[in-house]
Amino acid sequence: MPSIAACNSSPHKVMVPVKSEKPSEISPSNAQSTTPQKRKLRSNGPLVQETLVSSLVKRKSPRRCLNSSPISPAIEIEKDSSKQQEKTCEIPPKKLHDNFTGKPSWNPRDIGQISALKEALHVSTAPSVVVCREDEQKRIFDFCKACIEQEKAGSLYVCGCPGTGKSLSMEKVKQHLVDWAKEMGLKCPDMLSMNCTSLANISEIFSKIMGKNLPRKRINGSASPLQHIQNLYSQQQQSSGSNMTLIVADELDYLITKDRGVLHDLFMLTTFPFSRCILIGIANAIDLADRFLPRLQSMNCKPMVVNFRAYSKDQILRILKERLMALPWTVFHPQALELCARKVAAASGDMRKALCVCRSAIEILEGELRESASNLSSSAVENELPHPQTAPACEFFKKQESMIVGIDHMAVALSKAYRSPIVDTIQSLPQHQQMILCAAVKFFRGGKKDTVIGELNKSYIDVCKSTMIPPVGVLEFLSMCQVLNDQGILKLGQCRDDKLRRLNLKIDAADITFALQGVRFFRNCLQ
C-alpha cells in the first residue's frame, strides 16, 4: 500500500515541530494549491514541506471514493468556520478544516506517529489554546483586571465538576494577566498558586502568603503568620505602590475543618481596609461559599462565583478536534469522535474521560492490527505455495483493514470505560456462590432490606432442595459469604455469633437477574 511506504520516510521529524508550534500562526499556504480540492490546510511551517511531499504521493491511493461520502465536505467547512468565528472573542479567528478527506490517513504501525498522537491526547498535555472556556476566562480576567487597576482586594470562587478545565483556565488567565500588565505598564502582581492538598498543616497557607508578601522580613516568634498578615493589611502601606498578590488556592475544600476557621480567615483577608491580595479559590462544590462563609455575606464581600459547567457534546467534540488538528494525519472517523462526545457528555461531561476513551480506542485499533498481522503471518507460514485464489484475497484483506479508528473501536472503548465488571463477575462465579445470590434475590424480593446469615442459609437450603443439588455445610456457606463480602457483592456485619451477622446485598437485584438469565437453571430458580 503506498501510504505505508510513504509515511515511513520521516517518522521522527514529524513529532518535534508539532509541540512547539503556535496554532494561531497561519503562514501563507505555499504548496497547497497543488492539492486537487484546493483546500487550505492549516500549515505548520516547516512541518508541511516534508509531509506534503508524501501526501502528494498518497493522493494516488484508491481512497478517492471518500470524497463522495454522505458527510459532504464542502458544507461542513463553511459551517465549522462560521461557528468558530462566533465563539472566539480574544483569540484571532482560525479556519478549522477538519474533515478526514482533507488530510492523509495515518499509519498506525509507525511508532513515531503513535507517540505523537498519544501525546496530543494525553491529559497532561496542556493545549496551547483553551477552547470552550472563553466566557469564564473573560470573567475571571476582567475581575482581576478591575482589582489591579483600582488597587482593591477581592475574592473569587471558581467551582465545577472534576475535568471541566478549571485549573487549566486559571493558568491561561495568569499568563494573560502578566502579558496585559506588561502591556499597560502596570506593576505585575505576585503570583502564588498552591494546591491545598500539599499543605502539611492547613495554617501553613498563611506562612506561604507571608513568604510572598514579605520575603525578607523575619517571622517574629510570638505572632503567627496569620496575625502578621492581618497587621500588615490593617495599616497604611509605607511604600505605596507595592504589588498586589494573586493567590490561587486549588482544591479549596481541603481547608475545611470543623470550625471552618482557616477558610474563613483566608477569605476575611480580603476585607481588611488596606488589603492587597486577590484571592481565587477553586473547588468542586457550587455552594461552598454559601455554606462555609456565611459571615461574609453580612459584610457584603461574598466572593464572586464563576461556575464551570460540565462540557456539552459539542464542546467535547470541539476540544477533541482542536487537539487532533495539530497532527497532519486523520486518525479518527468523525462519527467515532461524535459518539465519544455524546456518551461522555451524557455521563459526566468530564474531559479527562473523553481523552482516556480516545486513547483506549487507539490501543484497541493497535491490538487489532497486531492480531491480524500475527494471523496473516501464521497463515502465510502455513500456505507455502500461495494458491492463486487466496493470494490476491490476502492482499485484498490487507487493504480492507481500517487504518482509521472507527465507530466499532470507539464503541468497545466506551463500553470498557463505562461498564462495571459486576455482570461479568457474577457470570463467572462458582455455582454455589451464584445460588447464594439467587437465594438472596428471592429473599429480598419480599421487601426486606437486610437479614442475618442464618436466615439466608435457610433460604439457600430451600433453593438447593428445589433444584435437587445437595447444599453445602454451614462452614463453607460462611466462607462463601465472606468471599462475596470481599468482592463487594454482599455486605456482612460483625457479630460474635457467626449466624447472627447482618447481611445485605450491595448490588442491584436486577443486575443479578440479568447476569444469570442465560442459564435456564437460574432462570427457574429466580422465578
Q: Residues 463, 442: contact at Cβ < 8 Å?
A: yes
- What secondary structure does DSSP assign to 460-489, as a single string? HHHHHHHTT-PPPPHHHHHHHHHHHHHTTS
Distance CA 290, CA 287 (A): 5
123 binds another protein (CB under 8 A): yes
Tell me which residues in 247-276 interact with another protein (CB under 8 A).
Answer: 251, 254
125 binds another protein (CB under 8 A): yes
309 binds another protein (CB under 8 A): no
162 binds another protein (CB under 8 A): yes
Contact pick of 461, 467, 498, 513 for another protein (by CB under 8 A):
461
**CB 85 to another protein: min, Å:** 31
392 binds another protein (CB under 8 A): no
472 binds another protein (CB under 8 A): yes
Give Cα 147 to chain centroid, integer Å: 33
Contact pick of 32, 207, 487, 513 for another protein (by CB under 8 A):
487
What 3-state class would DSSP assign to 33? Answer: helix
518 binds another protein (CB under 8 A): no
198 binds another protein (CB under 8 A): yes
Distance CA 362, CA 406 (A): 10
Contact pick of 142, 149, 179, 371 for another protein (by CB under 8 A):
371
Tell me which residues in 96-115 interact with another protein (CB under 8 A).
Answer: 111, 114-115
122 binds another protein (CB under 8 A): yes
409 binds another protein (CB under 8 A): no
**CB 407 to another protein: min, Å:** 20
Q: Residues 122, 359: contact at Cβ < 8 Å?
A: yes
**CB 14 to another protein: min, Å:** 14
| DSSP, res 124 | T
If the CB atoms of residues 80 and 366 are measured against another protein, the closer one turns out to be: 366
Q: Residues 344, 327: contact at Cβ < 8 Å?
A: no
Residue 479: which of 519, 446, 433, 448 has the closest Cα? 433
**Strands of the sheet with 277-283, listed across from one edge:** 190-195, 245-250, 277-283, 154-160, 304-308
Residue 377 CB burial class (10 angstroms; 0-12, 13-18, ≥19): exposed
256-287 in b/e form (b: 16+ CB < 10 A) is beeeeebbbbbbbbbebeebbbbbbbbbeeee
**CB 452 to another protein: min, Å:** 14
The widest CA-to-CA distance across the chain, in whole angstroms, is 94
If the CB atoms of residues 2 and 493 are measured against another protein, the closer one turns out to be: 493
483 binds another protein (CB under 8 A): yes
422 binds another protein (CB under 8 A): yes
Chain residues that interact with another protein, rule: CB under 8 A: 111, 114-115, 118-119, 122-126, 161-163, 195, 197-198, 251, 254, 284, 350, 352-353, 356-357, 359-360, 363, 367, 371, 374, 416-417, 420-422, 424-425, 428-433, 457, 461, 470-476, 479-480, 483, 486-489, 506
